[in-house]
Copies of this chain bind each other. A is one copy, B any other.
Amino acid sequence: MPATLATLESSRCPITRSVSLLGDRWSLLIVRDVLGGLHRFDELASHLKISRAVLSPRLAGLVDAGILERADYREPGARRRAEYRLTESGQELVPILAALVDWGRRHVAGSAGLRLAHTGCLSPVHVEMGCAAGHAVPNAQLRIDVPPGH
């Protein structure tokens, strides 16, 4: 039998924590677009077709969570610009996006409209699980395991 009740109970569960930060309708889409090269407020608003009144607090939340960072840029002679960039923590969301892409392409009809590629060779990218002993881990061989001590 897999994990026990007491196991899953903990609010220190990293899934709970991650979902509470990222589990809404916009955050991961914003990350996707920033990763895809959109860095400015109005670019994001118009590409996502999201109201600016909604985008603003979303960006603030992601900055607050340490996923994005905001920088004002002023090129000589030009006006001020604000830029949103992924922090290192934000950059490490990439496997989550890749896993969502993998799943969506396989299990949701009509979702073939986005490609992930390796910058080195332009081949398509997929996600795998592996264990510390070097084995590939298929979905059915994963178990939720809780260290002793709650």
Looking at the assembled complex, report how far the CB atom of A130 sits from the nearest CB atom of chain B, in whole angstroms. 6
Closest to A98 in B: B129
Q: Does A48 contact B (CB under 8 A)?
A: yes
Q: Which residues of B contact A103 (CB under 8 A)?
A: 14, 18, 92-93, 95-96
Q: Which residues of B contact A146 (CB under 8 A)?
A: 32-33, 36-38, 47, 113-115
Copies of chain A in the complex: 2
- Which residues 95-115 of A have a CB within 8 angstroms of B? 95-108, 110-115
A7 in contact with B36 given A114-B144, A118-B141, A139-B91 (CB within 8 Å):
yes
Is A111's CB under 8 angstroms from B3's CB? Answer: no
Is B104's CB under 8 angstroms from A15's CB? Answer: yes
- Which residues 54-107 of A have a CB within 8 angstroms of B? 66, 89, 91-107
Q: Which of B18, B29, B99 contacts A127 (CB 8 A)?
A: B99
Closest to A6 in B: B47
Which 8 residue pairs are nearest across A and B when measured between Cβ atoms?
A: A14-B104, A12-B113, A36-B146, A118-B131, A117-B145, A3-B49, A14-B111, A123-B131
